[in-house]
């Protein structure tokens, strides 16, 4: 093991930590990270290349993740773990060091599906779903995006119409929905008012065995292959009146946006986990790979790349840490979330790509993690807001002028 | 959808193709048609299943491009520019099939053409030009990629034949090819020689040649690369290419195709631009095509700028090569530039397509991952930079051991 060359670092974040990140976290927080890392080492790393190659999501690990305590991790009540935002962030980066698909599962289940019920649901909805979802006995998905409505969810065309008797009837198609084919419950956002007017959007708790609800997996993915994305079809899905998420906080697009912000928070940390694992993989390789009679690691170009990666990883963790502490102290601003999501994703994908390049031909197989991470991060960079969405969110924050829609 | 503009229809902004002669234009259009009609419809499925699309070979033969620069023996005898246009138009649709052509024709047949004697050329080249037999080029080894000059596979003369032992890796078509050109070091004089390993009439490799397809590849999945164990492999003296006396022979073969990866990168870059630009007109968000947004237009303009730079560099490189004035550092500068730009363009285009860009059906993620391979083979970015660096400074920095 190359750790023999680097016995001087004892940071829990390993050799990538050149800026003393270790000192920013308490012993309890580090213990959370190491516990999740142990799980990833035991249950994920030995199998992830095969899962990715075969495009399989390991459904059987869901209850294990429940036992690990990472589902609905930052929420309290109804049996949920109630850990801090920083602890949740540390767990997210350990999971994503294993694979982005795994962290995505935890985000979809915890931040999106459980988050929606926790923030906006009725007491009955919470009691019915949250304990089982915390334990990993029930899986949730979150249906917001549509084929024609990605960055612009206000243009969604899925409708919810209330009948005289009080029942709701949902119709429409949702796309890119994580876990749809294995979910027991779907949080579906639908238009109750006029299409194009975000104020009429409401959320519904839809058991997936409701007649008219079908889900199919999206195939041919070249990213996050060990994860499930689906298309949901809702054809006259009839729900009782109390299926709507009743809270005032769930009226309009701020309902789903609050959930997305929770997921974005996890991504800020998660992306750094993928970057750190790419760095560790290429550092090991550079120490061992001999060309021209010396290790790759002895070349100046290699050392410069490793140095730039470690510095970038250090800055990414500092950004995540700052946002995590701020979240534990009070609500985050949209600008803070966008700054973290925008930069940590693009920095992480740059590191994973550089690591792939340094691995040469060997870097194109699943034997080494960086290309898998780089390909996964293509999804992570796109979902929960593309670069442009976050740039324009920050741009609006800085200028007071919204530039999302074309000038008319 | 808004109608396509001329530069999206044909991304040749500075009108370079207008200067091609009639033969070359016809060649371009023939390759383009072949790629669109025969490769594009089947490639995603094969790519996903990691299988080579053998069904395209009859149509490939009909294009008359097999054998590229080779004169005679049923080969087309193309100019460097024509060979470049072929690689460009193939890369523009798919990298795996282009690599097949590269290893079969440019490197496999090229080795026999450049290093074989007349009898050897006659023995193998015509059948290979007709694709009745496919070829491979077995040079790199597990421990010798960038420094393949230090290859360790050994050959020992034993009467009228040679005994070869060693280990080859990343050999395109090396587990299916009928005619494998294998490079090994002669134990007697320490020099690298070339040997042709053939399947027998039943399609079996000789004893001692044990190829295994490398699995788990995340790029260029539709071309098989082999890991080959060679143990006591016996090759007759008549299968030793007569004119390969040392590693300089390998260099002559590589030199004849040098620049191919740059043209291929250009093809991937053209695809990235076309896919991104078309999508920007199709996809509407906030009630307008995303191509109407400033951020998107700036990205497309940057992509086109990079594309034109690549087109100009490749064109000049072909002219210099045709005049035999292309030096190694010149070719390295072009490879370094085109690889970086094409990779960046593919990534930008993939990003611009959002979630759709993750799917095979949109092609761009395949171009992007295939481009990782182009960036590595024919010399990594670092190797090219150090070749140029040595030219600038006069000092070799590949390794410290000679200092």
Which ipTM did the prediction report?
0.70
CATH number of B251-393, picked from 3.40.50.1240, 1.20.140.10, 3.30.428.10, 1.20.1630.10 = 1.20.140.10
Between residues 380 and 399 of chain A, which touch chain B (CB distance below 8 Å)? Answer: 381-383, 386-388, 391-392
Give the distance, in angstroms, between the CA of residue A397 and the centroid of all CA atoms in the same chain: 24
pTM flag (> 0.80): yes
CB within 8 Å: A405 and B287:
yes
CATH number of B7-129, picked from 3.40.50.1000, 2.60.40.10, 3.40.50.2000, 1.10.540.10 = 1.10.540.10
> A227, A100 in Cβ contact below 8 A?
yes
What gap in Å lies between CA A63 and CA A138, rounded to an integer? 9
Between residues 58 and 77 of chain A, which touch chain B (CB distance below 8 Å)? Answer: none
Name, in order, each residue with C-beta under 8 angstroms of A218's C-beta and a sequence gap of 6 or more.
Answer: A175, A176, A229, A230, A231, B359
Helix ranges (H only) for B78-146 are 80-91, 95-101, 110-115, 118-129
Nearest CA in chain A to B367: A222
CB within 8 Å: B382 and A301:
yes
- Residue A126 scores a pLDDT above 60: yes
CB within 8 Å: B400 and A176:
no
Range A256-261, long-range pairs (CB < 8 A, 24+ positions): A256/A116, A256/A142, A256/A144, A256/A153, A256/A189, A256/A201, A256/A203, A258/A115, A258/A119, A258/A120, A259/A111, A259/A112, A259/A115, A259/A116, A259/A119, A259/A142, A259/A187, A260/A112, A260/A144, A260/A384, A260/A385, A261/A332, A261/A334, A261/A337
Percent of chain B with pLDDT over 90: 92
pLDDT reported for residue A231: 97
Look at residues A13, A51, A22, A104 and name the one whose alpha carbon lies nearest to residue A372: A51
What are the structural domains of chain A? Answer: 10-134 (1.10.540.10), 140-250 (2.40.110.10), 255-399 (1.20.140.10)
Per-residue pLDDT tens digits for B151-176: 999 999 999 999 999 999 999 999 99
Give the distance, in angstroms, between the CA of residue B106 and the centroid of all CA atoms in the same chain: 9
In the structure, what pLDDT confidence band is assigned to residue A405 with cuts at 50, 70 and 90? Answer: confident
Q: Tell me B217's DSSP state.
A: B
Burial class of residue B390 in the structure, from the number of CB atoms within 10 Å of its CB (0-12 exposed, 13-18 middle, 19+ buried): middle
Domain ranges of chain B: 7-129, 135-246, 251-393
CB pairs under 8 A between A and B: 140
- Residue A6 scores a pLDDT above 80: no
Residues of A in contact with B146 (CB under 8 A): 291-292, 360
| A384 in active site | yes
- The mean per-residue pLDDT over the stretch A158-175 comes to 97
Beta strand B192-198 with B161-172: parallel, antiparallel or unpaired? unpaired
**What average pLDDT is seen over chain A?**
94
Nearest CA in chain A to B47: A220
pLDDT reported for residue B287: 87
Per-residue pLDDT tens digits for B108-136: 999 999 999 999 999 999 999 999 999 99
- Of A33-42, A236-245, B149-158, B284-293, the range with the lowest mean pLDDT is B284-293
B135-246 folds as Butyryl-CoA Dehydrogenase, subunit A; domain 2 (2.40.110)
Contact A364/B at CB under 8 A: yes
CB within 8 Å: B373 and A364:
yes
Q: Tell me B198's DSSP state.
A: E
> B208, B233 in Cβ contact below 8 A?
yes
CB within 8 Å: A382 and B355:
yes
CB within 8 Å: A220 and B44:
yes
Residue spans of chain B under pLDDT 50: 402-403
Nearest CA in chain A to B50: A53
């Amino acid at each position: 093991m190359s750790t023999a060359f680097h016995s001087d670092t004892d940071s829990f974040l390993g050799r990538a930590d050149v800026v003393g990140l270790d000192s920013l976290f308490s012993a309890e927080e580090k213990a959370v990270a190491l516990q999740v890392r142990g799980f990833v080492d035991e249950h994920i790393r030995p199998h992830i290349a095969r899962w990715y190659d075969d495009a399989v999501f390991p459904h059987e690990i869901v209850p294990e993740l429940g036992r690990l305590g990472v589902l609905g991790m930052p929420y309290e009540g109804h049996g949920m773990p109630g850990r801090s935002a920083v602890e949740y962030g540390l767990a997210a980066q350990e999971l994503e060091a294993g694979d982005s698909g795994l962290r995505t599962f935890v985000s979809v289940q915890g931040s999106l599906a459980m988050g929606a019920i926790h923030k906006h649901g009725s007491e009955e909805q919470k009691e019915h779903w949250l304990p089982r979802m915390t334990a990993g006995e029930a899986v949730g998905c979150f249906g917001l995006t549509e084929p024609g409505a990605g960055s612009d969810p206000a243009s969604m065309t899925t409708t919810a119409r209330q009948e005289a008797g009080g029942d709701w009837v949902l119709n429409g198609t949702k796309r890119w929905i994580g876990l749809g084919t294995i979910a027991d419950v779907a949080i579906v956002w639908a238009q109750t008012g006029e299409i194009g007017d975000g104020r009429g959007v409401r959320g519904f708790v839809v058991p997936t065995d409701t007649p008219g609800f079908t889900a199919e997996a999206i195939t041919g993915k070249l990213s996050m292959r060990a994860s499930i994305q689906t298309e949901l079809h809702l054809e006259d899905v009839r729900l009782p009146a109390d299926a709507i998420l009743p809270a005032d906080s769930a009226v309009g697009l701020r309902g789903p946006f609050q959930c997305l912000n929770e997921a974005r928070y996890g991504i800020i940390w998660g992306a750094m986990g993928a970057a750190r694992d790419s760095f560790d993989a290429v550092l090991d390789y550079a120490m061992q790979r001999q060309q021209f009679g010396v290790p790759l690691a002895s070349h100046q170009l290699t050392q410069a790349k490793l140095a730039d990666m470690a510095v970038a990883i250090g800055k990414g963790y500092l950004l995540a840490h700052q946002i995590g502490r701020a979240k534990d102290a009070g609500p985050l601003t949209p600008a803070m979330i966008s700054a973290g999501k925008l930069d940590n994703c693009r920095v992480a994908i740059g590191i994973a790509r550089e690591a792939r390049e340094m691995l040469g031909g060997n870097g194109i197989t699943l034997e080494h993690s960086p290309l898998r991470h780089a390909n996964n991060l293509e999804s992570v960079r796109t979902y929960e807001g593309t670069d442009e969405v976050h740039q324009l969110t920050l741009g609006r924050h800085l200028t007071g002028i919204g530039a999302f829609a074309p000038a008319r | 959808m808004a109608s396509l503009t001329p530069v999206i229809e044909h991304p040749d902004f500075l009108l370079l193709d207008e200067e091609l002669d009639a033969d070359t234009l016809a060649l371009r259009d023939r390759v383009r048609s072949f790629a669109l009609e025969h490769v594009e419809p089947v490639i995603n499925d094969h790519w996903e299943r990691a299988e080579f699309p053998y069904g395209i070979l009859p149509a490939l033969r009909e294009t008359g491009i097999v054998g590229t620069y080779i004169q005679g023996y049923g080969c087309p005898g193309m100019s460097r520019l024509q060979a470049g246009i072929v690689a460009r138009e193939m890369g523009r649709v798919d990298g795996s099939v282009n690599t097949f052509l590269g290893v079969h024709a440019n490197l496999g047949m090229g080795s026999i053409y450049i290093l074989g004697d007349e009898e050897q050329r006659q023995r193998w080249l015509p059948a290979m030009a007709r694709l009745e037999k496919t070829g491979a080029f077995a040079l790199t080894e597990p421990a010798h990629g960038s420094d393949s000059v230090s290859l360790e596979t050994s050959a020992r003369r034993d009467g009228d034949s040679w005994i070869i032992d060693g280990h080859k890796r990343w050999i395109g078509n090396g587990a299916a090819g009928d005619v494998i050109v294998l490079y090994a070091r002669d134990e007697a004089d320490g020099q690298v020689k070339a040997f042709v390993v053939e399947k027998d009439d039943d399609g079996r490799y000789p004893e001692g040649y044990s190829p295994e397809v490398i699995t788990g590849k995340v790029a260029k999945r539709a071309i098989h690369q082999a890991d080959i164990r060679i143990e006591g492999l016996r090759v007759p003296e008549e299968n030793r290419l007569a004119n390969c006396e040392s590693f300089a022979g390998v260099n002559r073969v590589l030199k004849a195709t040098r620049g191919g990866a740059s043209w291929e990168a250009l093809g991937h870059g053209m695809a990235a631009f076309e896919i991104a630009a078309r999508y920007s007109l199709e996809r509407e968000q906030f009630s307008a095509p995303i191509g109407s947004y400033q951020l998107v237009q700036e990205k497309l303009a940057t992509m086109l700028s990079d594309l034109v730079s690549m087109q100009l560099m490749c064109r000049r490189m072909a002219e210099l090569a045709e005049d035999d004035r292309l030096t190694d550092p010149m070719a390295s500068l072009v490879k370094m530039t085109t690889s970086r730009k094409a990779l960046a363009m593919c990534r930008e285009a993939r990003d611009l397509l959002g979630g759709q860009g993750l799917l095979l059906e949109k092609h761009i993620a395949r171009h992007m991952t295939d481009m990782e391979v182009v960036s590595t083979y024919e010399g990594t970015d670092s190797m090219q930079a150090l070749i140029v660096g040595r030219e600038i400074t006069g000092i070799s920095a590949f390794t410290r051991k000679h200092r």
